[in-house]
Structure 1
């Protein structure tokens, strides 16, 4: 085993936490957080500490496996595998059309090479349709970013006055640097608030100032109608003070919809028909959290 601790990074999620390792042959013998890393400052989650488990697991494939007629598998060399797979794609393309081939790949954290070679491959086989893991994991985030901020952002939860987690449990999934440290800091700071929108009473939800337990069928990631309603409530709250005038640009999410679905009086926007019914939330449950969001500086959403 090497005596020297070698700096590197975990690639199992977007945080890319800094770690230092000692190696023994091809194994990662010891792993710990890199205290000199400017972003994570020595913090690691359980995934980073188990990198060797994923890298050198006993069940990890080391060669292509071809299925036999009886359902078992046999090892074959790479040249044979590539030729047989290429022939299979060619048969489908020539017999049924390349548009019958759906490409699912790329978007794997730590390996984005698919973005470089997949285009030429899809053109060669005539495929038109593609997706990847990010389509499931990040579509909701992209929708919220587009409507709330106008483009993709990276939340600075470490400094946010109000942090909002939509269908997310960062206590377990991490997904931003030093997640558990930051969550504890938010929970202990009376000047900051945490809002969790999730039907499940997660570890993060238990720490939150506001936990909105929406109906599972109306999860924010699956229900634009519910998202519009809750976001409309945020905008309405912002503009309903008798001493202020509407500022629709402050909260970009659903502004056009909000303007068309609310009553604009002389004293500002007034509350209308939203009672939380699409999400299964009574008005008293939804109102305090939206008021907190609207009265703060721009919140950070995940």
Structure 2
């Protein structure tokens, strides 16, 4: 076969950079950046280029694997695996009901439109109650804050980076993450462009991160964000710096919010945040005085004790200063097709429609906190989780208290994993079913199209045929559903409408790409099946493989279209937020655990699943705890020597790196290390520890409004290890 070069795009992280794949004899040879991509313009990070090694990894699972009684695995046929899974599921359902079924899906599933669609379809078709995701370790608080503010879980404002004059970033490190909760290829250039045109970029972080080193850094104590943001709001209200005219048009609850934050003066919060009162006042005044300002926060703000409150206050700062839905402020992108927003409008997903059996937590887009998953398995009673599927996830490493979950998995009646590797979690599975990589499937960025700072859409065909017997996740899910008599997306197949849909489904097999094409052609940019000249269709995207820019900038003046509250106004004082603010007292630090542990993202890691790439693991990569020299000296810890990081929930031991990069009182440890099971040899040999063993899954340690795990600002102590 000839050597071919194929246009595609990366699906590891949110910039979705354009790539060119070289294929020879049906196998991937190399990947390089796509110089013709209109947004990434020849840029790609080391992870995207290294994906050649993932694609061709000899440790990949390429054939269905079944666990043997001795714990090892053997290759079986697809029919044998699926028939046995179907039979066991039918028996579990017959004895315990469909509420005993569950699914956990990890971060990579968000980068496959068909994967997430069919999980939702399976959940709807089965009536499954146990749905969990990486979202409770990532972004679910952002969805809930949007629900409270705008009446829509999917109204996710993004910073208008290309037009802002003042960017306040809290708990975000886009120089390493490349942007999260926002799709902005070449984000480093976008950030430096702000300062080049005379603007300011202010980074609030307990650590002098790679991003903070390039711009203005405000050092805040871990998990002090809620107090800092409330304090800034109190200054803006007290000094009459708010945009009264805009607020009168856009928002309700201004006076209630003003009263709720009034007590959080900079002088009061200084002892909690570590930010001097004068600096807080200057920051609030600068934000309010800027001709345009955007406020942006990510995982550093999501995983503390008050994740939903912090996400809410970030937006509230933009709203009260008149910087919502305006050029240079926070803006709302528009989906080119009916996606989650449509699912929400149809009532397929929502917030607090159901409550978890353990902990009584509200669902967020149908899912519950992953932190309670182990207890749902081990706690007897009606609705006990007995059969679990995992796809594109490794919750033993990504969920707090992995030891608890690891032990609980062995108590399931059935565990089935759909993945690329035999990892720490699915090494306990009854079956491991091989999934395609993103290069082995066609795709379109369904979840991220509304988060792009430049409205953009791209489609890619599969670059190579699936290796071995790997199958797309949606096909696997569909085959399992059929074996238990379930029709994805049809919740009540026994009624008349369900029966008609069932017959239609048998006559016309469902294809996710067909569904997306229809949704796109009927969407705001669609061609309306020929009625609108030049509109979007799959044919147009195929004719433009490098992608299509839809607008130069995100459209503004759309707030009334976005807000779903009855009065079409932003709600600044929902009861849930006022209640949390009223209970937010002065934080008391523990004498036994006087330091605070935060997470850390690394340039050559992506959560827990890229540690089997030789080029990314090459060199002197080592898993270490970053500790301020003053704290290390007080504890008797030396640079490069092993130390113990301990909390009330557990402890880990790893080498110490002494650095002024973290402030006194802060310890930073990257997540995703500590592989100890499965069949990925480089990852297992890399060493390190699972830092989430220090985290708690106690009900009181799970954030109440969105079910977020407490992974940042965890009280710890450090001590040397002999």
Change (3 A) 1:50 1:87: same
Query: Are 2:282 and 1:288 equivalent residues in the alignment?
Result: yes
Could you say which residue in structure 2 is the equivalent of 1:178?
A: 186
Please say if residues 3 and 25 of structure 2, whose CA atoms lie closer than 8 Å, have aligned partners that are also in contact.
Answer: no
Aligned ranges 1:108-147 → 2 under 5 Å: 108-123=109-124, 125-143=126-144
C-alpha contact 1:239 1:245 (8 A) present in aligned 2: no
Matched residue, 2:257: 258
Measure the CA separation in 1 of the matches of 2:241 and 2:287: 19
Q: Can you list the C-alpha shifts for 1:14-54, whole angstroms capped at 9, x where unaligned? A: 32211223212343323222222111122211122122122
CA RMSD of aligned residues (A): 3.5
Query: Residues of 2 paired with 1:246 and 1:85: CA distance?
Result: 61
Q: How far did residue 80 of structure 1 move?
A: 1.4
| Cα distance in 1 for residues equivalent to 2:118 and 2:258 | 46
Contact 2:22 2:30 in 1 (8 A): yes
Asked if 2 retains the 8 angstrom alpha-carbon contact of 1:11 and 1:109, the reply is no
**What is the aligned partner in structure 2 of residue 192 from structure 1?**
199
- Mean alpha-carbon deviation: is it higher for 109-118 or for 137-146? 137-146
Structure 1 partner of 2:438: none
Q: Offset of 1:195 from its aligned partner? A: 2.5
Q: CA deviation at 1:273?
A: 6.9
**224, 234, 246: which is aligned to 2:232?**
234
Matches within 5 A, 1:156-171: 156-171=160-175
Secondary structure of 2:163's counterpart equals coil
Cα-to-partner distance string for 1:164-209 (whole Å, 9 max, x where unaligned): 33322211111331023333434x5372222323323321122231
* Aligned-partner Cα distance in 2 for 1:162–1:148: 23
Per the alignment, residue 505 of structure 2 pairs with none
Q: How many residues align?
A: 287
Taking structure 2 as the reference length, the TM-score comes to 0.36
1:212–1:72 distance in 2 versus 1, CA, 3 Å: same
Q: Which runs of 5+ in 2 are unaligned?
A: 298-722
String of CA shifts for 1:105-155, please: whole Å, max 9, x gaps. 376133132343334533554421313233432224435656778731333
Q: Which residue of 2 aligns with 1:95?
A: 95
Is the Cα–Cα contact under 8 Å of residues 104 and 132 in structure 2 kept in the other structure? yes
Residues in 2 aligned to 1:163 and 1:69: alpha-carbon distance in whole angstroms: 57
TM-superposed deviation, 1:300: 4.3
Over 3 Å counting, the alpha-carbon distance change for 1:62 and 1:81 in structure 2 is: same
Matches within 5 A, 1:191-230: 191-215=198-222, 218=223, 220=225, 226=226, 229-230=227-228
